[in-house]
Amino acid sequence: MRRALIVLAVLLALSPVSNAADNPAKAFTIADVGTVTGLVPGGTVTRKVRVTNPNNQDIKVTRLDTSVGRPSPNCPANAVTVDALAAPFLVAKNASADVPLTVRMTSSAPNGCRNLTFPLTYSGTAIKP
Amino acid sequence: MRKRTAVIAGIAVLAIGGGVAYAAWSSTGSGSGSVGSTTSANSTISAVDGAGGLYPGHTVSYQVTINNPNSYPVRVTGISAGSSTLVNGCAAGTVTSPAVTNPAGTIAAGQTGTYTLQATMSADATDECKSQSFTMPLTATLESAA
Strands A28-32 and B26-36: parallel
Average pLDDT over residues B26-41: 92
**Which of A:97-126 have CB within 8 Å of B?**
103, 105, 107, 109, 111, 113-126
Contact between B120 and B81 (Cβ < 8 Å) = no
Closest chain A residue to the Cα of B144, Cα to Cα: A41
User: What pLDDT sits at residue B8?
Assistant: 44
Say whether pLDDT at B6 is over 90: no
Average pLDDT over residues B49-57: 89
Q: Cβ contacts (< 8 Å) between A4 and chain B: which residues?
A: 4, 7-8, 11
User: When comparing pLDDT for A55 and A6, which is higher?
Assistant: A55
User: What pLDDT sits at residue A63?
Assistant: 95
Q: How far is A19 from chain B (nearest CA, A)?
A: 11
Cα–Cα distance, A87 to A89 (Å, whole number): 6
Ranges assigned E (strand) in chain A: 28-32, 44-53, 59-68, 80-82, 89-91, 95-105, 117-127
Say whether pLDDT at B75 is over 50: yes
Cα–Cα distance, A45 to B34 (Å, whole number): 12
On whether any CB of chain B is under 8 Å from the CB of A10, the answer is: no
Q: Cβ contacts (< 8 Å) between B146 and chain A: which residues?
A: 40-43, 107
Interface test with A, best of B26, B37, B142 (most A CBs within 10 A): B37
φ/ψ of residue A114, rounded to 5: -75, 145
Out of B25, B30, B143, name the one closest to residue A23 (CB). Answer: B25
ipTM of the complex: 0.77
Q: What is the pTM of this model?
A: 0.72
Strands A117-127 and B26-36: antiparallel
Q: How far is A115 from chain B (nearest CA, A)?
A: 4
Burial zone of B76 (CB within 10 Å; 0-12 exposed, 13-18 middle, 19+ buried): buried
Do B31 and A127 count as a contact with CB atoms less than 8 A apart?
no
On whether any CB of chain A is under 8 Å from the CB of B21, the answer is: yes
User: What pLDDT sits at residue A80?
Assistant: 97
Do B29 and A118 count as a contact with CB atoms less than 8 A apart?
no
Closest chain B residue to the Cα of A65, Cα to Cα: B30
Average pLDDT over residues B6-27: 46
Interface test with A, best of B34, B39, B68, B77 (most A CBs within 10 A): B34
Average pLDDT over residues A78-103: 96
Do A7 and B144 count as a contact with CB atoms less than 8 A apart?
no
Q: Cβ contacts (< 8 Å) between A24 and chain B: which residues?
A: 25
Of chain A, the percentage scoring pLDDT greater than 70 comes to 81
φ/ψ of residue A22, rounded to 5: -85, -10
Q: What is the SS3 assignment for A118?
A: strand
Out of A4, A118, A124, name the one closest to residue B4 (CB). Answer: A4
Burial zone of B115 (CB within 10 Å; 0-12 exposed, 13-18 middle, 19+ buried): buried
Mean pLDDT rounded to a whole number for chain A: 85
User: What pLDDT sits at residue A24?
Assistant: 47
